[in-house]
Amino acid sequence: MPPRSPLDDRLLAATTTVRGQDTAARLAAVHEMLDLAVRPGADARAIVLALAGLDHAGTPPVLRETARAAIAVITRMVPAPRVEGGAALWGIADAAAFDPVASRRAAAGRPAVSVAIGTSAGGEPVTLDLRRESEGGGGAHLYVSGATGSGKTELLRTLAVGLAAAYPPEELNLLFIDLMGGSAYQALTALPHSVGFATQLDYPTGTRELGEAIAGEVYRRQELLRGGGYGPRLVILCDDLSALVAYDPGFVEVLVLLGRVGGSLGMHLVLADERFEPQRLRGLATYLSQRVALRTYSAAQSRELIGVPDAYELPNAPGHALLRVGEAAPRAFRAAYVSEQYPPSWERLPDRPTELDVLIGRIAPHGERARQLWPRG
């Protein structure tokens, strides 16, 4: 992984200070961020987003006005950002004109459940292949971890819509689980690939029924496999895993079952959380052969997840990550960003859709709705 630059260190210090309590120090940090934004190689978009976070009633008026003025200067002097969205990464010239049927036809024969999730420092696509090692993939299950604001949820959203763009619902389905959230994945349920969205579950009834539904799908696929096949692959995306495990510790047993036999049945886990705590997962970590580390809270957490401390030194901007597949050395990349407004612009318009919205709108009409797994009928 390339070392963090002096610009990254200065930006990290400024963004930390600007969230503090000392108004004079925060004002100085805003001026520092303005100075950084106009320098070559700076992530001006991340700086604008950080400054925009000061525009609320709880910010001292002088600080709020200074941040607004800084944003105005940056957006006037720096060209509008060319954000690496998912569409460009997947070879889609214009998200609004995307034809998923033609795209899938042109890509016939591609490996099952494989999708690019970002780009390396050299600009090459970084692809996640959830096939088992015996099928030529990197392993059936993935764990994503990183500190608050590092881009975990965005990565899962990118992965989900990228898979939906690449494969029809008769080949691949998606189940979303976010116990405490809701809005981040709601739009994705419009995809015909979605077999359900489990959120705001009550304990013990709701979590028990979800576990039973998933276990039932395992047994159903085992029966189908005896007849020669198991149907479409199922990718289960679970955000904020620790909240689910804390809420219902017994749910880990369902995840361990999936880790153990899911790959042979076309069932894939994509788990995300702020920390990687294998001692709470009761052996599940053994099956998580693919791991993405975004910026971590400590070098020790990075080492626990990917075997090296490097994720702690990642730049203080969302999407910077390291992918480790099996025992291979981690590979640095920047995750694609599908939540940018479409088309990209410095100007923030509340009624403008995101790239994710546009892609979902193009994909949704194509394909029969998948058989629903949740809520149970």
Residues belonging to the binding site for ATP are 146-153
36 CB-near residues (< 8 Å, 6+ apart): 7, 10, 11, 14, 42, 47
Query: Could you give the CA distance from residue 30 to residue 55 in angstroms, rounded to a whole number?
Result: 12
Which letter, b or e, does each residue of 103-139 get, where b requires 16 or more Cβ atoms within 10 Å of its Cβ? Answer: bbeeeeeeebbbbbbbbeeeeeebbbbbbbeeeebbb
Let me know the angle formed at the C-alpha of 93 by 88 and 95, rounded to the nearest 5 degrees. Answer: 85
The set of long-range contacts for 205-211, using a CB threshold of 8 Å and a minimum separation of 24, is: 207/244, 207/247, 207/248, 207/251, 208/248, 208/250, 209/376, 210/177, 210/251, 210/374, 211/248, 211/250, 211/251, 211/253, 211/254
Query: Could you give the CA distance from residue 207 to residue 197 in angstroms, rounded to a whole number?
Result: 13
Of 322, 233, 319, nearest to 276 by C-alpha is 322
Asked if 15 and 54 count as a contact pair (C-beta separation under 8 A), the reply is no
**Can you say which residues are annotated as belonging to the binding site?**
146-153
260 CB-near residues (< 8 Å, 6+ apart): 287
Of 366, 185, 365, nearest to 272 by C-alpha is 185
DSSP letter string, 109-124? TPPTTEEEEEE-TTS-
State the Rg of the chain over Cα.
21
Asked if 310 and 301 count as a contact pair (C-beta separation under 8 A), the reply is no
Asked if 346 and 48 count as a contact pair (C-beta separation under 8 A), the reply is yes
Asked if 107 and 166 count as a contact pair (C-beta separation under 8 A), the reply is yes
Of 12, 70, 63, nearest to 37 by C-alpha is 70
In the block, which residue shows the tokens 């994503």? 144
| Residues forming beta bridges with residue 106, ordered by sequence position | none
Query: Could you give the CA distance from residue 297 to residue 291 in angstroms, rounded to a whole number?
Result: 16
